[in-house]
Amino acid sequence: MTHSGRSKFEITRFTNEDENHINRKLPKELLLRILSYLDVVSLCRCAQVSKLWNILALDGSNWQRIDLFEFQRDVEVSGDRRVTLTYSLINLDSCPSVSDISLKALADGCPLLTHVNVSWCQSITESGVEALARGCPKLKSFICKGCKNVNDRAVISLATRCPDLEVLDIQGCETVSDEAVSRLGGALRRLCASGCARLTDASLAALAAAAPRLATLELAQCTQLTDAGFQALARNCRMLERMDLEECVLITDATLVHLSMGCPRLEKLTLSHCDLITDNGIKQLSLSPCAAEHLTVLGLDNCPLVTDEALEHLTSCHNLQLIELYDCQMVTRNAIRKLRNHLPNIKVHAYFAPVTPPAAAGGARPRYCRCCNII
C-alpha cells in the first residue's frame, strides 16, 4: 500500500516514560515498519515526538512514494482567477524510482522551485535536468550526488538557464568536465565536484574569473589539479571558507602558500592523501592571517611527509578545533601532547599501532589488546 492509500493514524501524546517504554520494548526495525503505514501528515507528527522518532519517521524508505495531491490548494487572487500554490524545496534523496519523468513533471508544475535534491537517483539523466532547468529558472540549489548519468549537457543547462544558482553538488558525476564548470556563473557560492576526475586547472581558472563569491569548494579525488590552478583560484576567490582537496595528489606546498595569501577567511581545509605536502607548507599556512583568526579544522590524514615540526607551527592557530592525523607516521604522541598543551580544547584524531610486546621469558606470552588507539 502506498502513502496515497494509507488511512490516517491519530498520533496520541504520551509522556517521556511511555516513550522510553516503547523504545525499549520495540526494536527500531519494527518501529520503522509501523511508521511505513502512516500517511504524510502522521509521519510529520511522529517526527516531532523525539529525536529517535524523528530519525525513523524521516527515513528515506518512508518517502519513496508520496502523493502530494491533497496538499495542493487553489487560492483566489482576483475575481475568478485562481493560482495553484507551488513548492520552493523538494528533497528526493535516495529515491531510486525517481527518473527524468519526475523532473519533467516538477518542471511543468512547480515553476517556482528553488531547491532540488535528487542525490543517488541514478535514473536521472541530462534530459530530466535540462527540462528542470527550462521550467524552473529560479533554481538556487541543485544537488545530484551519485547521479552518474548527469553530464556536461546537464550542468551547462543549469548554468545557462538558472542565473541565481548558488549551490551545485555534482559529487560522483564522473563525466563532468572543464567544459561544464567553465559555464558556471557569478552567483555560485558552493560547488562540490568531488570525484569528477576529468577536471583540470582550466576549471579552477574559470571559477576564479566567474565565481568571486565562492565560499565552499570540494574537489576530493580531482587528481589532475595542480598548484597553478589553485594560484589562479586564490587570486580572485577571496571569500573561500571551506575546501576539500583530499587526493589532489599533484599539489605541493605552493598551493598552501597561495591559499594563505589569497584566502583570508579559510576555516576548514582537508589535505588528506596529498602526498607532497610538507612541514614547510603547514608553516606557511600557520603564519597567514586566515590560520591565526579563522582556521578551525585541518585534515592531514595520510600525508607521509608531515612530521612533529608541522604541529609545532600549528600552535599559533588559536581557533583550531580539530586536526586529523591518521596514518601520519612521522607524527609522534609527544608532539600531539605538546599541541594540546597550547590548544587544550583541540580534538586530535590519530592512530598509533599497538607496540608488539616482547616474548615473556620462561612462560607463556601475556595477552594484549590489539585495538587501535584513537588519540
pLDDT digits (tens, 9 = 90+) for 94-138: 888 899 999 999 999 899 999 999 999 999 999 999 999 999 999
User: For position 32, what pLDDT does the model report?
Assistant: 81
Give the separation between CA 105 and CA 125, rounded to whole angstroms.
Answer: 14
Domain ranges (residues) in the chain: 23-63
Q: Which CATH number is correct for 23-63, 1.10.20, 1.10.150, 1.10.3470, 1.20.1280? A: 1.20.1280
Task: Name residues of the chain where pLDDT drops below 50.
Answer: 1-12, 69, 72-84, 86, 365-374
C-alpha cell at 334: 609527544
DSSP E strand boundaries for the chain: 74-78, 81-84, 89-91, 115-117, 141-143, 167-169, 190-192, 216-218, 242-244, 268-270, 297-299, 322-324, 347-349, 351-352, 373-374
pLDDT digits (tens, 9 = 90+) for 328-342: 999 999 999 999 999
User: For position 81, what pLDDT does the model report?
Assistant: 42
DSSP string, 70-120: GG--EEEEETTEEEE---SEEE-TT-TT--HHHHHHHHHH-TT--EEE-TT
